[in-house]
Amino acid sequence: MNEELTVGVLGYRFMGKAHSNALARLPMFFPDAPAVERHTLVGRDEAALSAAAERFGFSHTATDWRDVVDEVDVFYNLGPNHLHADPSIAALEAGAHVFCEKPLAPTLSAAREMHEAAEQSSRIAGCAFNYRFVPAIRYAKGLVEDGELGEIRHVRGRYLQDWLVDPEAEWSWRNSKELAGSGALGDLGAHTIDLARFLVGDVAGDLVRVSGHLQTFVDERPTGDGETKPVTVDDAYTAQAEYENGAVGSFEASRFATGHKNDHTVEIHGSEGSLRFSLERLNELEYKSSESRGYETILVTDGSDPYVDHWWPPGHVIGWEHTFVHENYEFLSAVAEGGEFHPSFADAYRVQEVLDAIERSDERGEWVDLPGDGD
């Protein structure tokens, strides 16, 4: 491994910008982070790619990921869901470490191939569930693991957005089952399922069965050229779930929730206390202890709080983009030091099993059991 890690990135739009920003911020705020060379940016549109590479600080560009995977130490796969499997597997086989955006793949079978490739590789394969790296979420996990909530009884998670409320909103790959795999379920629900696993998995165990419902509200959308394309994914989903310890879970997501821009909320209720977190107030955690009459709001910005010592004085809040800095720091540090990184492809595959079970439950109209860890 070179002293400086060379990084290749597939994708230069939304997630490409978020991760490139994180790579640029690391040396300033995390001086112990591994040195990184932003080597090659990959995309199809040469003109747009060249402009993005200049803005993001990449020294090279490529229009074919096959020309990149064996030339870099670390390969970031930030493309659409249907491009997750082949480049990621090829990069692992070429000896690169891989960081892939969520969900792991459009289908359970493709996710299984990625998981198996990671199992057979000596390289680190991580999945970018960035909400694990919110300081308030880390604080919440500490409360759960320390037993402050007692026995976990109920986990509730919702992810609400409204960017598709307008039936004239333009069609994109996120509206295609072939390209995306699912709609609100995979795009938003994957985050919620992973966050719930992260927070209570060591205490309540894994999910053992689910019952789900998916709904599409607008069947076709304009393409911008006077034509329309069918919407083949869900616009919203709801699910009930059962945990190993007997706790109940309820999860939902919608891209039709008028008035909600990016509302990812998680609540955990235990025998001794409860907590509540909303992404739209990501520096805050609401906590009800066994000794208090109601919830108190904790501003998670002290220097002793997770990651916050790298940023600003207490009370000076951080934002959504900082979660990417945190996860990139953890991933690249694991690569440089030969350690473990979570969420791994194995973690992401477990999430994919839940998403798949929710879809099958909707199709069958019945509860669906989830496989155990050894299945």
Domains identified in the chain and CATH numbers: 5-128 (3.40.50.720), 151-271+344-369 (3.30.360.10)
pLDDT at 374: 52
In contact, 253 and 189? CB cutoff 8 Å: yes
Cβ neighbour number for residue 219 with a 10 Å cutoff: 11
Query: Which whole-number Å values give the CA distances from 132 to 2, 129, 262, 343, in the listed order?
Result: 29, 6, 16, 8
pLDDT at 3: 79
Q: What are phi and psi of 201, to 5 degrees?
A: -60, -40
First to last CA, the chain: 35
Residues 53, 58: Cα–Cα separation, whole Å: 5
Provide the CB-side half-sphere exposure for 286 (13 A, CA). Answer: 15
**pLDDT means per 10 residues in the chain (375 residues)?**
85 97 98 98 96 97 97 98 98 98 98 98 98 98 98 98 97 97 98 98 97 98 94 98 98 98 98 98 97 96 96 96 98 97 98 98 98 70
Residues 355, 108: Cα–Cα separation, whole Å: 9
Cβ neighbour number for residue 298 with a 10 Å cutoff: 18
In contact, 11 and 43? CB cutoff 8 Å: yes
Strands of the chain (E only): list them.
Answer: 5-10, 36-42, 60-62, 74-77, 97-101, 125-128, 152-160, 207-215, 220-222, 228-230, 236-243, 248-254, 263-270, 274-278, 284-288, 296-299, 368-369
Residues 330, 104: Cα–Cα separation, whole Å: 19
In contact, 279 and 131? CB cutoff 8 Å: yes
pLDDT at 1: 40
Provide the whole-model pTM.
0.96
Q: What are phi and psi of 58, to 5 degrees?
A: -95, 140
Query: Between 190-204 and 345-364, two packed helices, what is the crossing angle to 10 degrees?
Result: 110
pLDDT at 372: 81
In contact, 39 and 59? CB cutoff 8 Å: yes
pLDDT at 71: 97
Q: Which residues lie closer than 8 Å to 325 by C-beta, 6 or more apart?
A: 21, 22, 25, 26, 29, 30
